[in-house]
Amino acid sequence: MSQKHPTLTTPFGERAKQADHPLTEYLYRLMVLKSSNLCLSADVHTARELVTLADKAGPSIVVLKTHYDLISGWDYNPVTGTGAKLAALARKHGFLIFEDRKFVDIGKTVQMQYTAGTARIIDWAHITNANIDAGKDMVWAMAEAAAKWKERINYEVKTSVTVGTPVSDHFDDGLENGDENGRLDPREQLGGYGSNDRGADARKGSIVSITTVTQSFEPAGSPRLPKSISEGDESVFPGIEEPPTDRGLLLLAQMSSKGCLMTREYTQACVEAAREHKNFVMGYVAQESLNTAPDDNFIHITPGCKLPPEGEEENGHIKGDGLGQQYNTPAKLINIKGTDIIIVGRGIICADDPPSEAERYRKKAWKAYLSRVGLE
């Protein structure tokens, strides 16, 4: 880490003005507004626990990190499901959702994993991350998928279906390869995934009446995320607008685990990929600041963080979890290593009172930031 890099001493409010990515700019402003540089890693067992924790700890955090695939009972419904509920809580409490998916595969596969499948991660997670062992082109592929998603999401698709009496078994609604204007289903524009799995014959066989599908595309005035959740909580966090519709990527440049095999060359490749994709890469999941070039202004978010119990010596060694995880204190990660946001999981979740423990971490991490930039 270069001790002299300007980002280490520049307040977040100033870094917002210089940010390359709209979501990074928003996140810095949110951090200042909430006096928080805390990300909660919500690694709980059930969707119910996840939603409850997000609601209770929401006021203390700026990022909620998920691993959707370790949550039992995750509801995939795009409008009323778990992703939509988290999106509503993010709006209410003012935090961004970071799905810690660690994508790594060929470009085409990650595009599909990111935008489609059961979880449709891109619909509810503002941020996700990638391990670029598969090569830098993967970042390009994800950036392309996110740009197409953004184009699509800025139009609301209204679909009305009317059912009448069948006159023949011929289904000729002009929608076989698009609507009446030749427009493809926006989901199929991303490369046609899923577009060949329903042949015309299969459709004919299932027709019992004439079905007319009308689609109209309307510009949406505000950022689109699923807005209605079953609980119906539509409130919006005061003091800041809703986040932009842009999606952001963090590159997994270094890990907190013992014996991590990520080499310096790998980390350097992440730095190069970030600089090449400033419109999509927000920064890094890393153990130290990787900003070295004069105009680097990437955000750093760091896991492997724990505080000793209240009242105990803060600068002592923090024991790992016995499964390879290693921990550092917020002060060490922010002041000495130069990270911006700390990620805390079990340190908060396993406390007797997780919301007040989240507050304790928020205060410690913010204090470390203020002291780093000389505001304290």
Q: Which residues are part of the catalytic machinery?
A: 100, 102, 105
Q: Is 255 in the site for ligand BMP (CB under 6 A)?
A: yes
- The site string for ligand BMP over 20-49 (x = CB under 6 A, - otherwise) reads ---------------------x-x------
Q: How far is the CB of 42 from ligand BMP (least distance, A)?
A: 9
Q: Is 343 in the site for ligand BMP (CB under 6 A)?
A: yes
Q: How far is the CB of 347 from ligand BMP (least distance, A)?
A: 6
Phi, psi of 279 (to 5 degrees): -80, -5
- The site string for ligand BMP over 153-192 (x = CB under 6 A, - otherwise) reads ----------------------------------------
Distance CA 258, CA 255 (A): 8
Q: Is 43 annotated as a binding residue?
A: yes
Question: Which residue lies nearest ligand BMP, judged by its C-beta?
Answer: 345
3-state SS, one letter per residue, for 178-229: CCCCCCCCHHHHHCCCCCCCCCHHHHHHHCCCCEEEEEEEEECCCCCCCCCC
| Surface-to-core class of residue 88, CB atoms within 10 Å of its CB (0-12 exposed, 13-18 middle, 19+ buried) | buried
Q: Is 256 annotated as a binding residue?
A: yes
Kindly identify the residues of this chain, within the stretch 75-134, that bind ligand BMP according to CB under 6 A.
100
Sign, Cα dihedral of 193, 198, 199, 204: negative
How is residue 36 annotated by DSSP? -
Q: Which amino acid is at 260?
A: C
Q: Is 326 annotated as a binding residue?
A: no
Q: How far is the CB of 137 from ligand BMP (least distance, A)?
A: 22
Compare residues 147 and 318 and give the one whose CB is closer to ligand BMP. 318
Q: How far is the CB of 192 from ligand BMP (least distance, A)?
A: 32
Distance CA 188, CA 238 (A): 37
- Among residues 9, 211, 325, 335, which is the contact residue for ligand BMP, using CB under 6 A? 325
Q: Is 345 annotated as a binding residue?
A: yes
Binding-site residue total for ligand BMP (CB under 6 A)? 16
Sign, Cα dihedral of 87, 88, 91, 95: negative
What's the token pair of residue 291?
Answer: 């900003």
Q: Which of 15, 64, 23, 35 is nearest to 365 (CA)?
A: 35
Compare residues 43 and 49 and give the one whose CB is closer to ligand BMP. 43
Answer whether 291's CB lies under 8 Å from 298's CB.
Answer: yes
Which residue positions form the known binding site for substrate? Answer: 43, 65, 256, 325, 345-346
What is the contact surface with ligand BMP in residues (CB under 6 A)?
41, 43, 67, 100, 255-257, 285, 303-304, 325, 343-347
